[in-house]
Amino acid sequence: MDVVVTGAAGQLGSALVAAARERGIEARGLRRADLDVTSPHAVAGLDLGPRTVLINCAAHTAVDAAESAPQAAGALNALAPGLLARRCAATGARLVQVSTDYVFGTAPVPPRPWEPGDPTGPASVYGRTKLDGERAALAEDPRTVVVRTAWVYTGRRPAPGGAGGANGANGAGGVGWAPDFVGTMGRLAGQGVDPKVVDDQTGSPTYAPDLAAGLLDLAELLGVDPTRPGGVLHAAGGGAASWFDVARGVFERVGADPGRVSPCTTAEFPRPAPRPAYSVLSSRAWVDAGLRPLPDWRDALDRALGAPRGTDR
Protein backbone atom coordinates (compact mmCIF):
# COMPACT_ATOMS: atom_id res chain seq x y z
CA MET A 1 0.00 0.00 0.00
CA ASP A 2 1.16 3.48 -0.91
CA VAL A 3 -0.03 6.34 1.31
CA VAL A 4 0.11 9.93 0.09
CA VAL A 5 -0.46 12.75 2.58
CA THR A 6 -1.23 16.25 1.31
CA GLY A 7 -0.78 19.12 3.73
CA ALA A 8 2.14 17.22 5.21
CA ALA A 9 3.62 20.30 6.89
CA GLY A 10 0.52 20.90 8.97
CA GLN A 11 -0.49 19.61 12.38
CA LEU A 12 -2.31 16.48 11.25
CA GLY A 13 -0.27 15.88 8.11
CA SER A 14 3.02 15.82 10.00
CA ALA A 15 1.51 13.49 12.62
CA LEU A 16 0.37 11.15 9.83
CA VAL A 17 3.78 11.00 8.19
CA ALA A 18 5.42 10.29 11.55
CA ALA A 19 2.87 7.61 12.45
CA ALA A 20 3.25 5.91 9.07
CA ARG A 21 7.01 5.83 9.48
CA GLU A 22 6.60 4.15 12.88
CA ARG A 23 4.37 1.48 11.32
CA GLY A 24 6.74 0.85 8.46
CA ILE A 25 4.22 2.19 5.93
CA GLU A 26 5.54 4.00 2.89
CA ALA A 27 4.10 7.50 3.03
CA ARG A 28 4.75 10.36 0.63
CA GLY A 29 4.28 13.62 2.46
CA LEU A 30 3.46 16.47 0.08
CA ARG A 31 3.81 20.05 1.27
CA ARG A 32 2.49 23.16 -0.45
CA ALA A 33 5.80 23.56 -2.28
CA ASP A 34 5.51 19.99 -3.56
CA LEU A 35 1.92 20.19 -4.81
CA ASP A 36 -0.52 23.03 -5.33
CA VAL A 37 -3.75 21.17 -4.56
CA THR A 38 -5.78 24.04 -6.00
CA SER A 39 -4.17 23.71 -9.44
CA PRO A 40 -6.03 21.40 -11.87
CA HIS A 41 -2.85 20.98 -13.91
CA ALA A 42 -0.68 20.10 -10.90
CA VAL A 43 -3.21 17.65 -9.42
CA ALA A 44 -3.75 15.99 -12.82
CA GLY A 45 -0.04 15.15 -12.86
CA LEU A 46 -0.02 13.60 -9.37
CA ASP A 47 1.47 10.10 -9.44
CA LEU A 48 -1.17 7.78 -7.97
CA GLY A 49 -2.19 4.19 -8.58
CA PRO A 50 -4.80 1.62 -7.59
CA ARG A 51 -2.84 0.72 -4.46
CA THR A 52 -2.64 4.36 -3.30
CA VAL A 53 -4.62 5.85 -0.43
CA LEU A 54 -4.47 9.65 -0.57
CA ILE A 55 -5.23 11.36 2.76
CA ASN A 56 -5.99 15.02 2.17
CA CYS A 57 -4.98 17.16 5.15
CA ALA A 58 -4.45 20.32 3.10
CA ALA A 59 -6.97 22.91 4.26
CA HIS A 60 -7.57 26.55 5.11
CA THR A 61 -7.98 26.09 8.87
CA ALA A 62 -7.70 29.73 9.97
CA VAL A 63 -11.37 29.84 10.97
CA ASP A 64 -11.61 33.55 11.74
CA ALA A 65 -9.46 34.64 8.80
CA ALA A 66 -11.71 32.70 6.44
CA GLU A 67 -14.57 35.10 7.18
CA SER A 68 -12.72 37.86 5.32
CA ALA A 69 -11.05 35.59 2.76
CA PRO A 70 -13.80 33.28 1.45
CA GLN A 71 -12.12 32.77 -1.93
CA ALA A 72 -8.87 31.58 -0.37
CA ALA A 73 -10.78 29.29 1.99
CA GLY A 74 -12.91 27.99 -0.87
CA ALA A 75 -9.90 27.18 -3.03
CA LEU A 76 -8.30 24.93 -0.42
CA ASN A 77 -11.41 23.59 1.30
CA ALA A 78 -13.85 23.18 -1.60
CA LEU A 79 -12.02 23.22 -4.94
CA ALA A 80 -9.01 21.10 -3.96
CA PRO A 81 -10.95 18.06 -2.61
CA GLY A 82 -12.88 17.84 -5.88
CA LEU A 83 -9.68 17.97 -7.92
CA LEU A 84 -8.03 15.30 -5.78
CA ALA A 85 -11.10 13.05 -5.95
CA ARG A 86 -11.16 13.40 -9.74
CA ARG A 87 -7.53 12.30 -9.90
CA CYS A 88 -8.24 9.35 -7.59
CA ALA A 89 -11.18 8.27 -9.75
CA ALA A 90 -8.97 8.39 -12.85
CA THR A 91 -6.16 6.32 -11.32
CA GLY A 92 -8.07 3.91 -9.05
CA ALA A 93 -6.60 5.45 -5.90
CA ARG A 94 -8.77 6.00 -2.81
CA LEU A 95 -9.26 9.45 -1.27
CA VAL A 96 -9.71 10.08 2.44
CA GLN A 97 -10.92 13.66 2.83
CA VAL A 98 -10.51 15.13 6.31
CA SER A 99 -13.40 17.39 7.31
CA THR A 100 -14.75 19.09 10.40
CA ASP A 101 -17.47 19.41 13.04
CA TYR A 102 -18.05 22.96 11.75
CA VAL A 103 -20.33 21.55 9.05
CA PHE A 104 -23.05 21.21 11.71
CA GLY A 105 -25.37 23.89 13.00
CA THR A 106 -27.90 23.94 15.84
CA ALA A 107 -27.54 20.87 18.07
CA PRO A 108 -30.21 18.18 18.23
CA VAL A 109 -32.71 18.53 21.07
CA PRO A 110 -31.96 17.02 23.49
CA PRO A 111 -28.23 17.22 22.66
CA ARG A 112 -26.68 13.97 21.45
CA PRO A 113 -23.51 13.22 19.51
CA TRP A 114 -23.76 14.04 15.82
CA GLU A 115 -24.07 11.08 13.43
CA PRO A 116 -22.66 11.27 9.87
CA GLY A 117 -26.14 11.34 8.34
CA ASP A 118 -27.48 14.18 10.47
CA PRO A 119 -28.52 17.40 8.70
CA THR A 120 -25.70 19.90 8.26
CA GLY A 121 -25.98 23.65 8.73
CA PRO A 122 -22.62 25.44 8.86
CA ALA A 123 -22.68 29.01 10.16
CA SER A 124 -19.15 30.06 9.15
CA VAL A 125 -17.22 30.41 5.92
CA TYR A 126 -14.86 27.72 7.13
CA GLY A 127 -17.72 25.30 7.79
CA ARG A 128 -19.47 26.06 4.50
CA THR A 129 -16.32 25.61 2.42
CA LYS A 130 -15.44 22.35 4.18
CA LEU A 131 -18.96 21.03 3.50
CA ASP A 132 -18.63 22.12 -0.13
CA GLY A 133 -15.38 20.14 -0.23
CA GLU A 134 -17.08 17.02 1.11
CA ARG A 135 -19.76 17.27 -1.56
CA ALA A 136 -17.30 17.98 -4.36
CA ALA A 137 -15.12 15.00 -3.44
CA LEU A 138 -18.05 12.59 -3.21
CA ALA A 139 -19.49 13.88 -6.48
CA GLU A 140 -16.19 13.38 -8.33
CA ASP A 141 -15.56 9.98 -6.76
CA PRO A 142 -18.27 8.28 -4.66
CA ARG A 143 -15.58 5.96 -3.28
CA THR A 144 -14.20 8.92 -1.30
CA VAL A 145 -14.28 8.46 2.47
CA VAL A 146 -14.94 11.74 4.28
CA VAL A 147 -13.70 11.73 7.88
CA ARG A 148 -15.01 14.52 10.09
CA THR A 149 -13.10 15.33 13.23
CA ALA A 150 -13.08 18.07 15.86
CA TRP A 151 -10.92 20.20 18.15
CA VAL A 152 -7.61 18.78 16.95
CA TYR A 153 -4.52 19.62 18.99
CA THR A 154 -0.92 18.55 19.49
CA GLY A 155 -0.11 20.35 22.75
CA ARG A 156 3.63 19.91 22.86
CA ARG A 157 6.28 19.99 20.21
CA PRO A 158 9.43 17.93 20.75
CA ALA A 159 11.89 20.16 22.58
CA PRO A 160 15.38 20.75 21.14
CA GLY A 161 17.67 17.86 21.93
CA GLY A 162 14.78 15.78 23.26
CA ALA A 163 14.43 17.80 26.46
CA GLY A 164 10.98 18.58 27.76
CA GLY A 165 8.61 18.52 30.66
CA ALA A 166 6.24 21.08 32.04
CA ASN A 167 9.00 22.74 34.03
CA GLY A 168 11.76 22.25 31.50
CA ALA A 169 12.12 23.34 27.90
CA ASN A 170 8.34 23.38 27.49
CA GLY A 171 7.69 25.40 30.63
CA ALA A 172 7.42 29.07 31.47
CA GLY A 173 9.29 30.27 28.43
CA GLY A 174 6.81 28.55 26.15
CA VAL A 175 9.46 26.66 24.17
CA GLY A 176 7.96 23.50 22.72
CA TRP A 177 4.29 24.44 22.99
CA ALA A 178 2.30 24.02 19.78
CA PRO A 179 0.23 27.00 18.58
CA ASP A 180 -3.09 25.31 19.34
CA PHE A 181 -5.51 25.61 22.25
CA VAL A 182 -3.82 23.02 24.46
CA GLY A 183 -0.39 24.46 23.72
CA THR A 184 -1.63 27.97 24.44
CA MET A 185 -3.09 26.94 27.79
CA GLY A 186 0.12 25.15 28.73
CA ARG A 187 2.16 28.23 27.87
CA LEU A 188 -0.17 30.52 29.84
CA ALA A 189 0.00 28.21 32.84
CA GLY A 190 3.80 28.45 32.83
CA GLN A 191 3.73 32.22 32.39
CA GLY A 192 1.47 32.80 35.38
CA VAL A 193 -1.48 34.00 33.28
CA ASP A 194 -4.98 33.23 34.63
CA PRO A 195 -7.21 32.88 31.54
CA LYS A 196 -10.95 33.16 31.06
CA VAL A 197 -12.18 30.35 28.82
CA VAL A 198 -15.58 29.73 27.22
CA ASP A 199 -17.72 27.16 29.00
CA ASP A 200 -20.74 27.08 26.66
CA GLN A 201 -19.16 25.29 23.69
CA THR A 202 -19.02 21.50 23.94
CA GLY A 203 -17.10 19.25 21.61
CA SER A 204 -14.76 16.30 21.12
CA PRO A 205 -11.11 17.19 21.85
CA THR A 206 -8.94 15.12 19.51
CA TYR A 207 -5.21 14.45 19.91
CA ALA A 208 -3.54 14.66 16.49
CA PRO A 209 -1.43 11.48 16.89
CA ASP A 210 -4.58 9.53 17.86
CA LEU A 211 -6.41 10.81 14.79
CA ALA A 212 -3.39 10.01 12.63
CA ALA A 213 -3.39 6.44 13.94
CA GLY A 214 -7.09 6.12 13.18
CA LEU A 215 -6.68 7.44 9.65
CA LEU A 216 -3.87 4.96 9.03
CA ASP A 217 -6.13 2.16 10.30
CA LEU A 218 -8.70 3.32 7.74
CA ALA A 219 -6.06 3.48 5.00
CA GLU A 220 -5.02 -0.09 5.77
CA LEU A 221 -8.65 -1.25 5.56
CA LEU A 222 -9.00 0.44 2.18
CA GLY A 223 -5.74 -1.13 1.06
CA VAL A 224 -6.89 -4.61 2.05
CA ASP A 225 -10.38 -4.18 0.57
CA PRO A 226 -10.43 -1.63 -2.26
CA THR A 227 -14.13 -2.36 -2.84
CA ARG A 228 -15.17 -0.82 0.48
CA PRO A 229 -17.77 1.85 -0.23
CA GLY A 230 -17.22 5.55 0.29
CA GLY A 231 -19.25 7.84 2.51
CA VAL A 232 -18.93 9.88 5.67
CA LEU A 233 -17.46 8.78 9.01
CA HIS A 234 -16.66 10.58 12.25
CA ALA A 235 -13.37 10.15 14.11
CA ALA A 236 -12.78 12.24 17.22
CA GLY A 237 -11.63 11.87 20.79
CA GLY A 238 -13.98 9.97 23.07
CA GLY A 239 -16.22 11.75 25.56
CA ALA A 240 -17.22 15.39 25.57
CA ALA A 241 -15.78 18.54 27.10
CA SER A 242 -16.05 22.30 27.01
CA TRP A 243 -13.05 24.47 26.27
CA PHE A 244 -13.13 25.40 29.96
CA ASP A 245 -12.88 21.69 30.88
CA VAL A 246 -9.91 21.25 28.56
CA ALA A 247 -8.14 24.34 29.89
CA ARG A 248 -8.52 23.15 33.50
CA GLY A 249 -7.27 19.74 32.43
CA VAL A 250 -4.16 21.27 30.90
CA PHE A 251 -3.40 23.38 33.98
CA GLU A 252 -3.73 20.37 36.26
CA ARG A 253 -1.53 18.19 34.07
CA VAL A 254 1.31 20.71 33.97
CA GLY A 255 1.23 21.17 37.73
CA ALA A 256 -0.67 24.46 37.85
CA ASP A 257 -3.77 25.23 39.91
CA PRO A 258 -6.83 24.59 37.67
CA GLY A 259 -8.70 27.12 39.79
CA ARG A 260 -6.75 29.80 37.95
CA VAL A 261 -8.96 29.15 34.91
CA SER A 262 -12.26 31.07 35.00
CA PRO A 263 -15.33 30.31 32.88
CA CYS A 264 -16.93 32.79 30.51
CA THR A 265 -19.57 32.74 27.78
CA THR A 266 -19.07 32.86 24.04
CA ALA A 267 -20.76 36.27 24.07
CA GLU A 268 -18.01 37.54 26.38
CA PHE A 269 -15.34 36.38 23.93
CA PRO A 270 -16.63 37.35 20.46
CA ARG A 271 -14.81 36.09 17.38
CA PRO A 272 -15.31 36.87 13.66
CA ALA A 273 -16.48 33.32 12.90
CA PRO A 274 -19.35 31.76 14.86
CA ARG A 275 -18.48 28.53 16.65
CA PRO A 276 -20.80 25.53 16.99
CA ALA A 277 -22.21 25.48 20.52
CA TYR A 278 -22.40 21.67 20.41
CA SER A 279 -20.22 19.56 18.15
CA VAL A 280 -19.67 16.23 19.90
CA LEU A 281 -19.16 13.59 17.18
CA SER A 282 -20.46 10.02 17.43
CA SER A 283 -18.01 7.21 16.66
CA ARG A 284 -20.76 4.65 16.01
CA ALA A 285 -20.32 4.53 12.23
CA TRP A 286 -16.53 4.46 12.64
CA VAL A 287 -16.75 1.41 14.90
CA ASP A 288 -19.35 -0.24 12.67
CA ALA A 289 -16.82 0.07 9.83
CA GLY A 290 -14.45 -2.13 11.83
CA LEU A 291 -12.25 0.65 13.20
CA ARG A 292 -11.09 1.23 16.77
CA PRO A 293 -12.63 4.26 18.47
CA LEU A 294 -10.20 7.02 19.34
CA PRO A 295 -9.22 7.17 23.04
CA ASP A 296 -11.09 9.27 25.59
CA TRP A 297 -10.03 12.91 25.57
CA ARG A 298 -8.75 12.74 29.18
CA ASP A 299 -6.48 9.81 28.40
CA ALA A 300 -5.25 11.61 25.29
CA LEU A 301 -4.50 14.76 27.26
CA ASP A 302 -2.50 12.68 29.75
CA ARG A 303 -0.34 11.38 26.91
CA ALA A 304 -0.10 14.72 25.14
CA LEU A 305 1.27 16.42 28.25
CA GLY A 306 3.17 13.52 29.76
CA ALA A 307 0.89 13.49 32.82
CA PRO A 308 0.21 10.45 35.00
CA ARG A 309 -2.88 8.47 34.11
CA GLY A 310 -5.84 9.26 36.32
CA THR A 311 -5.27 13.01 36.44
CA ASP A 312 -8.52 15.02 36.37
CA ARG A 313 -10.71 12.05 37.34
Catalytic residue IDs: 126
Could you tell me which of 35, 132, 137 has the C-alpha nearest to residue 83? 137
